[in-house]
């Protein structure tokens, strides 16, 4: 059963200029971004991971600063394909698919396995505003799923930052352990690994969406969206090492905002043409 959460949040923000390398450009002509992770390789061999290149705009970091130079495919859903790897360097980043009654479902998800090696894991997407104007409203959505449970719950938290350092939750409720409506709490389990079966994985799938109003996203500046996979949760143990994933990440400037930006640019062009004609 798929659960859906939505929240409207107010956000007042200042954005810093982002780097040009690996960025995802948001323009008035293309005011949306979608990522379904289908370009990731489904291969149980180690596949090179390169920040801002394997998935343009995306970087992977961890609290223990372990090497993230590779990723590996993982499968779960039936006992014959419960291959999820471990959380060591070169293995903690995952491309995941569900193995069901008819085989792999073909829907690739972007995930990881937290653990003692990487610690907490962070997926960060950088977007740059190239609309030519300030953006005051945007929306974000994603889908979360779980493939393996271990230890206490852990937490997948979605946050924003304007300097790629000071992240806060979407609705201003605080950092780690906050009550953001975009946060995903996975299934807990005993101390041993619990690989979820087909029905359990599908039951774990949850969709989230949010509209952020009152923003001040300046032109030519960056917005960072972070998916934080917390292993060490306040009030919980530090032995969490679930396998979690994200999919179908969407970002959009509302149609009315995009049209107003395009209209403003058009007005500037028309005024310039008229002035040139008056000089002729």
Segments of the chain scoring below 70 in pLDDT: 1-22, 79-82, 89-90, 152-153, 171-180, 189-191, 233-239, 256-280
- Spatial CB neighbours of 14, under 8 Å, sequence gap ≥ 6: 162, 216, 218
Lookup: tokens for 232? 């060490």
Half-sphere exposure of 183 (CA within 13 A, CB side): 23
Q: How many residues does this entry show for the chain?
A: 280
> Tell me: the pLDDT tens digits for 80-128?
666 787 777 667 899 999 998 888 899 999 999 887 888 889 999 999 9
Report how far apart the first and last C-alpha atoms of the chain are (Å, whole number).
68
- State the pLDDT at residue 271: 36
- State the pLDDT at residue 151: 73
Dist. CA 242–CA 222, nearest whole Å: 31
- State the pLDDT at residue 7: 44
- State the pLDDT at residue 249: 98
Which domains, and CATH codes, for the chain? 3-254 (2.60.120.200)
Dist. CA 144–CA 209, nearest whole Å: 11
Backbone angles phi, psi at 113, to 5 degrees: -120, 110
- State the pLDDT at residue 273: 36
Identify which of 136, 47, 137, 142 has the alpha carbon closest to the alpha carbon of residue 85.
47
- State the pLDDT at residue 265: 42
Q: Enter the pTM of the model.
A: 0.83
- State the pLDDT at residue 173: 54
Q: Is the Cα dihedral 108, 62, 6, 34 positive or negative? A: negative
Identify which of 261, 66, 220 has the alpha carbon closest to the alpha carbon of residue 130.
220
Dist. CA 227–CA 123, nearest whole Å: 5
Q: What single-letter DSSP state applies at residue 149?
A: E
Q: What single-letter DSSP state applies at residue 18?
A: P
- State the pLDDT at residue 270: 35
- State the pLDDT at residue 276: 41
């Amino acid at each position: 059963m798929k659960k859906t959460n939505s929240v409207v949040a107010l956000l007042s923000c200042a954005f810093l200029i982002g780097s040009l390398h690996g960025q995802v450009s948001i323009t008035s002509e293309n005011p949306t971004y979608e990522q379904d992770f289908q370009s990731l390789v489904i291969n149980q061999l180690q596949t090179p991971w390169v920040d801002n290149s394997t998935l343009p705009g995306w970087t992977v970091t961890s609290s223990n600063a372990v090497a993230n130079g590779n990723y590996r495919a993982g499968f779960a859903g039936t006992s014959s394909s419960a291959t999820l790897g471990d959380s060591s360097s070169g293995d903690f980043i995952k491309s995941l698919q569900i193995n069901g009654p008819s085989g792999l479902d073909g829907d690739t998800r972007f995930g990881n396995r937290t653990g003692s090696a990487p610690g907490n894991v962070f997926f960060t997407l950088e977007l740059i505003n190239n609309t030519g104007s300030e953006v005051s409203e945007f929306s974000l959505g994603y889908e979360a799923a779980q493939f393996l449970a271990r230890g206490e719950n852990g937490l997948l938290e979605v946050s924003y930052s304007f300097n790629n350092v000071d992240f806060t939750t979407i609705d201003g409720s605080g950092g780690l352990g906050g009550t953001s409506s975009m946060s995903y709490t996975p299934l807990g389990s005993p101390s041993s690994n619990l690989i979820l079966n087909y029905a359990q994985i599908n039951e774990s799938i949850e969709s989230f969406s949010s509209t952020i109003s009152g923003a001040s996203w300046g032109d030519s500046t960056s917005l960072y969206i972070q998916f934080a996979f917390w292993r060490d949760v306040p009030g919980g143990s530090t032995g969490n090492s679930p396998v979690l994933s994200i999919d179908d990440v969407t970002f959009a400037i509302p149609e009315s905002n995009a049209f107003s930006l395009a209209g403003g640019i058009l007005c500037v062009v028309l005024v310039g043409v008229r002035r040139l004609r008056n000089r002729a």
